[in-house]
Amino acid sequence: MISKINSCIRCLYDTSHPLGLIVDQQGLCSGCKIHEEKDKLDWNFRLDKLKNIVKNYKSKSQKNYDCIIPVTGANDNYYIVHIVKNILELNPLLVCYNKYFNTPLGIRNLANLRIKFNCDILIQNVNPINVKKITQTTIRELGSVYWHVLAGHTVFPVQTAVRYKIPLIIWGAHQGLEQVGMFSHKHEVEMSRRYRKDHDLMSVEPEQLISIFDNINEEDIHQYLYPDDLSLNNIGVRGIYLGNYIRWDPKAQHEKMIKIYNYLTSSFSRTFDHYDYTDCYVYMDLHDKIKIFKHGYSKVTDHACREIRHGRLSREAAINLVKKHRFSETKFEELFCNWLGIKPKGLNFLLDQIRNEKYWYQTGDKDWKFIGNLYKNNKNKYSQGSINFINSSQLKYDEYEDIYITVGKGYP
């Protein structure tokens, strides 16, 4: 059955969005409709609700942490810790899965985070041999260079909750709600094994890497296994999303954090947002190129949709920004190849295999034409528009060369 692709009249998403999206009779998508709740809900009431939920988790003896916050050194980390410490008055344990693709700027921001907020941090360094072995497999079999990061980042906090007996995990916004309106804020959706599998892990649980791909053994993936239900229930582990209780606006939040806590930012060639993913050499680079190969759009479209919905970009200006950035050259592929021990030519051969024929047409041996959304009808009608993001630094930060900082204690 061929289903027709419908585009939203407000944002730039259409019904081919990998998280699933619905466009109604008026042409408005589910993501835009749920976004409207941000201006309708009583956020004071919702914050009170949050305060009520978390007060039961405050450690009575004050000898344990009150909650866990997963951190990376970028994205909304500063804002989440700010809310948890200063508004909810909890004592969090920060936990960080080491993704290995660290930029010096990310290490700096992570160190500054724990110092400014006076927090303890636990960092999980899975041994590099396993991480590389898994990454080689996931590139070949799933067309993903990022699977290990998503798997680690979503499981390490849960394992820590069980191990340290800290039942409450606090996340920022729920991606499914923010992008495609998978849930209403009022559903107060919580962390689940199911969402992790379906969306973060591309429907492949770590255990399946063993059965599908014979060169991965059980000992290679045990760090990525989700705790069993019995362990979770014994501790009462639960993960909540602040975005359900606080009006979520990443751009405004980051700008507040830049001002108060000196969060540093960086520009990227493939998007106009300077605040997300400054901790990583791969996400806004090679991973983003793969995204447009597979799905016909990239992160700049996500950023553009978010800014349209917040009323800071016109649709035309957003299209202009998407067109400007989406095919920009990557800068750090060679770094990745050096780390993994593969040749760029071999990587590019693998990447061509994962180009989705819905969006790419092969015109020659190594030549491809993009046949995805060209926004043709809007041609020559673009307003330039202007949206400002503060660019305070560079990914490389001070004296560091072009290398991944595999383990870094940061400054000072």
Where are the extended beta strands (E) located within 114-175?
A: 120-124, 168-171
Least Å distance, CB 304 to Zn ion, is 11
**Contacts (CB under 5 A) with Zn ion, residues 30-69:** 32
User: Nearer to Zn ion by C-beta: 26 or 61?
Assistant: 26
Least Å distance, CB 36 to Zn ion, is 10
Least Å distance, CB 292 to Zn ion, is 19
User: Nearer to Zn ion by C-beta: 196 or 309?
Assistant: 309
Cis peptide upstream of residue 206 (ω within 30 degrees of 0): no
CA dihedral 358, 359, 362, 368 (to 10 degrees): -170
Q: Are 100 and 406 in contact (CB under 8 A)?
A: yes
**Of the residues 16, 17, 29, 112, which one makes contact with Zn ion according to CB under 5 A:** 29
Least Å distance, CB 299 to Zn ion, is 17
Window of 6-14, 55-63, 259-267, 350-358 that interacts with Zn ion by CB under 5 A: 6-14
Window of 24-32, 130-138, 286-294, 340-348 that interacts with Zn ion by CB under 5 A: 24-32
Least Å distance, CB 1 to Zn ion, is 24
Give CA–CA dist 124/98, Å, rounded.
6
236 to each of 39, 169, 182, how far by Cα in Å?
A: 33, 11, 25
Report strand pairing: 67-70 vs 368-370.
unpaired
User: Nearer to Zn ion by C-beta: 174 or 289?
Assistant: 174
Least Å distance, CB 6 to Zn ion, is 10
Provide the 3-class DSSP secondary structure of residue 120. Answer: strand
User: Nearer to Zn ion by C-beta: 9 or 252?
Assistant: 9
8 scored as a contact of Zn ion (CB under 5 A): yes
Window of 27-35, 81-89, 345-353, 401-409 that interacts with Zn ion by CB under 5 A: 27-35
User: Nearer to Zn ion by C-beta: 36 or 229?
Assistant: 36
Give CA–CA dist 292/370, Å, rounded.
10
User: How many residues of this chain bind Zn ion (CB under 5 A)?
Assistant: 5
User: Nearer to Zn ion by C-beta: 175 or 392?
Assistant: 175
User: Nearer to Zn ion by C-beta: 26 or 52?
Assistant: 26
Least Å distance, CB 249 to Zn ion, is 17
Least Å distance, CB 32 to Zn ion, is 3
Nearest to 278 by CA among 407, 393, 412: 393
User: Nearer to Zn ion by C-beta: 77 or 179?
Assistant: 179
11 scored as a contact of Zn ion (CB under 5 A): yes
Window of 3-11, 247-255, 292-300, 371-379 that interacts with Zn ion by CB under 5 A: 3-11
Give CA–CA dist 227/361, Å, rounded.
43
Sequence-ordered list of residues with C-beta below 8 angstroms from that of 253, at least 6 positions apart, any chain: 76, 79
Give CA–CA dist 134/137, Å, rounded.
5
321 scored as a contact of Zn ion (CB under 5 A): no
Long-range contacts of 79-86 (CB under 8 A, 24+ apart): 79/172, 79/250, 79/253, 79/254, 79/256, 79/257, 80/170, 80/171, 80/172, 80/242, 81/113, 81/117, 81/119, 82/117, 82/257, 82/260, 82/261, 83/242, 83/246, 84/170, 85/117, 85/119
Window of 21-29, 59-67, 125-133, 136-144 that interacts with Zn ion by CB under 5 A: 21-29
Q: Are 368 and 362 in contact (CB under 8 A)?
A: yes
State the DSSP string of 267-295.
Answer: --SS-S-SSTTTTBSSIIIIIHHHHHHHH
Q: Residue 197: left (phi > 0), alpha (psi -120 to 50), or beta?
A: alpha
Least Å distance, CB 343 to Zn ion, is 41
10 scored as a contact of Zn ion (CB under 5 A): yes
315 scored as a contact of Zn ion (CB under 5 A): no
User: Nearer to Zn ion by C-beta: 196 or 315?
Assistant: 315
Residues of the shown chain interacting with Zn ion in the complex, contacts defined by CB under 5 A: 8, 10-11, 29, 32
